[in-house]
Structure 1
């Protein structure tokens, strides 16, 4: 088994910019119904720039994925570590690497497994924390994990949002209120958990990366320079700024004691509501016009808000997009 049996860790891409990707995908090599070729083709049609292979408790099969990568399409190696007390994603692991799945909360093995991923520069994601099936509830503490998958598309019916995602989002939001002030907050991400036709990219994570490479994409996710979209038709630009100084999602803004403007420009979500959230909960909302294009603005200070994040919801209350926070000092 050589490195040529696996996809390259870097694609040519477009240089520094925003890249769309789905990091929770299953093929016929675990319990999915689609071949890798079909997954890659459908991912590209869905407007994605990268996917991660996350078969259950096994490495990506050698000789399968390498020919599916391209200059404009990155394939990240990963695994869904399916334990008895919760599932988690090991992203950016090495070719042929398998992370031990035979552990559970309370047996003292989780830290060793997380370290196995971190040693190779990988990312550990708490997956679908409230999934409605045996072992789906995530019972491990979030300590040691890098990211939380607050939006998982597998179990939704007509749209990729359901009550389990709502609970996961609320749980993550509560943790932000405590963790942002200590600098230990964990970013959110969204993935389709594709098993069937029509699921890939619904939802996915939009990442600001220096280049289209495994390292750069994972760095962007790890730092929270990302937001989650229902589809490639949804676009969100979220910034904080004042007097020509502007920062984006995942960054920190030094207010210098003054008021700053939170600004969210949204397209692709007709008649939606854009809401701003802080450690005080939802603080402001704006309704978009019927064509789904609009700008929402709100002002705050560091004394009022430790962070600001944005949600975009459809008229039925389902989330169409949500961002990681911008923190304030």
Structure 2
């Protein structure tokens, strides 16, 4: 019996960004240099496949520093940590490596700079996300307020509207964030913003790639984890662009094929913490059900590379 034809529009860019690649390489190089176990505070990136792959090599993932024994290296995740975490590591004389994405670190420095000059900070982001927890932990508690939506931006009260600044989580919806910023700028015309937007290049590029194919798809799959902010945003972007079926899927085995009944054109992308091997896995599963034709859709070319910590540079690693 012949298979039904399915055209897959493969979004570009997709999958790993430079910050994720750097974080994973930090764990892998630390295992090579120091031997197992190497402890990692929080998931290094939000993807179970990646975490389990590193666990198989000897990484041990914990939620808090008090779970890390003496005498072993510990790595802080790509999402960043509050200042109290490295302070506590130093108090305990733990050797630590910081895998915080440099673009998240940039937001941390912005927050510190605003506090130094007396600005009260409005942080646009999602409550409880590790990146938000880490950013809020860079400054005194009374120096920063979280804004999650345009509705909240309409209602928020501040003591001194003349000394106000905003920063943002790096993995937000570009369009939703623009709405929130527009409200803040209308309500607080003196508000200071970043010279260059805080939403990272990879988040922006992946959302633009989804926009370029969403209207031509009967359904769109985003390969990524439920706790991955940038992956969740890709689903929302597809829906906003008019794609009636937009689904977040962790692995091919999680696919509900009944949702793709009647679909002749399928969009496929991956969040910034999802490896390409999982995209290939989904494509193989599609081939088992359909006669698949793949169309690669061109998008922004990414050539960003972030340096590793000096302790893990080639010279240090071979010393």
TM-score of the pair, normalised by structure 1: 0.25
The structure number with the bigger radius of gyration is 2
Higher normalized strand content (fraction of residues): 1
- Higher helix content, 1 or 2: 2
